[in-house]
Amino acid sequence: MNTIVNPVLRGFNPDPSIVRAGDDYYIATSTFEWFPGVQIHHSRDLVHWRLLKRPLDRISQLNMQGNGDSDGVWAPCLTYDDGLFYLIYTDVKSHKGAFKDTHNYLVTAADIEGPWSEPVYLNSSGFDPSLFHDDDGRKWLLNMRWDFRKEKNKFGGIVIQEYSQTEGRLIGPVTTIFEGTGIGFTEGPHLYKQNGYYYLITAEGGTRYKHAVTVARAALLMGPYEIDPLNPMLTSSGNPALLLQKAGHASLVETRTGEWYMAHLCARPVDGFHCTLGRETALQKCYWDAEGWLRLEGGGNAPSAAVQAPQLPPHPFEPEPERDDFDGPLLGNQWNTLRIPPDPDWLSLSERQGFLRLKGRESLSSCHRQSLVARRQQVFNIEAETVIEFEPENFQQLAGLILYYNTEDYVYLRITHLEQQGRVIGIIQSVHGMYDELLAADLQIPDSGPVRLKAVVNRDRLQFYYAIEDSSWCPVGEESHILHLSDEAKEPLRFTGTFVGICAQDLSGTRKHADFDYFIYREMEWIEA
């Protein structure tokens, strides 16, 4: 019997929404400030998964320029009905302080790979929107409603309103159908109809170590909803020995063979607390008990790292190559940019054939126009390598290899030009917004010619290296501790994992370019204990 090994989507892939269309299974996950928006993974057996599509791939669908850290695309919902895919998503413009500016949209496509439509605006009353297709043909939008008022429960309940497909808008009254349980922080609603009941699945406890899945049901769509007597249905809370922590924010799928699986958010702390890889996605096998409640196969309510696979033919995919030589006309699926799409104005794969050219723009503190291309770190031990050709003329021109969490937390092996030394290599970092230079003196290197750069990550430690052309690797500085590249490292809440990539800045405004010949991302382990 095949086994599902969790997490099935490793690295930063939170808030899974799972759906089946025929023999194909898809999971949509949040992307926050990273572009393109929403990751859709595909499987035919629930064991093997591949990144298939990022549907929000143009400014008209998603313009995040100026969005802050951990803003952007929160908790998408992917559904399929009558030959059409529906994708609901939030573009969070700000989540600072008491307020949250949360704009919810809908796009559709007849084919999962697109083209995806222009967005239909829905509402802004809260986040985690979800679309339910009732068996009478009517469609309903659910979301949590945010209550900013003092002395109020900020998570103000799950609300529902009808969506008119013919009119392309919400119609009728807004009704609160669920106010949550004593666990609190009620969000992430998904609605299903099974055996004559409406089942409402919500996330509770907050998206950290008290996270949980709550199930409630009602005979009528508008309720009243009865809470599962064994609530929570799934949680890691109070069980620090589990590999999968933060279990919550779930959605359901039924296979052709009548087996039920729950996709849920999880995380793997690197040191017992800090999750440098971000929040991930796992699957659990479920069943409906004699009383009609959803239960985990094997009993209890704790997530399992290994789960029995469904009775489906195995369907593996070709593994992603470790090396990208930048020979194609477009960036590969693994690559992401910050807030806005790659544009020939600052990124080119054609100006110098076989190279990725980045034109330096704003600083790593910017929420507007960064020239940065990165991919998720998906296991604890990795090597990342690139070669750069870059001839800076002053200290305001920088380029190199970076481990990036957000504008406040990163570690950067950069090349620049100093007045007394010429071209140099060194490390700069930001920890919670505090800038630092990690070497007493930058290392002088030849004024021209290619330089190889490498990062070796061993769980919570990072070592950088460089080499001039084909010479041996030389370490740059000491090992760095990188726990600040995690969700837990700083308050208030933040939600993205570590990325590794390449970037260029030109703070003088002349857009000095850097050319990268290749990029290697090598995982040094497959499954971590």
User: Do the beta carbons of residue 451 and residue 431 sit within 8 Å?
Assistant: no
What is the rounded CA–CA span in Å between residue 66 and residue 68?
6
Q: How far is CA 206 from the centre of its chain?
A: 17
Q: Region of 66 please: left (phi>0), alpha (psi -120 to 50) or beta.
A: left
> What residues form DSSP beta bridges with 27?
18, 41
Helix, coil or strand: residue 501? strand
User: Do the beta carbons of residue 502 and residue 374 sit within 8 Å?
Assistant: yes
**In 95-209, beta strands by DSSP E:** 101-109, 120-123, 130-133, 139-146, 155-164, 169-178, 187-194, 197-204
Can you spell out the DSSP letters for 192-219? EEETTEEEEEEEES-SSTT-EEEEEEES
What is the rounded CA–CA span in Å between residue 285 and residue 305?
11
Query: From residue 230, how far is each of 41, 46, 227, 296, 462 by CA, in Å?
Result: 32, 27, 8, 12, 44
Helix, coil or strand: residue 460? coil
Other C-beta atoms closer than 10 Å to the C-beta of 306 total 11
In the chain, count H helices and then E strands.
0, 40
Query: From residue 60, how far is each of 37, 251, 420 by CA, in Å?
Result: 12, 28, 47
What secondary structure letter does DSSP report for 38?
-
Q: Kindly list the catalytic residues.
A: 15, 187
What is the sign of the dihedral through the CA atoms of 349, 355, 356 and 362? Answer: negative
Q: Is the peptide bond before 115 cis (omega within 30 degrees of 0)?
A: yes
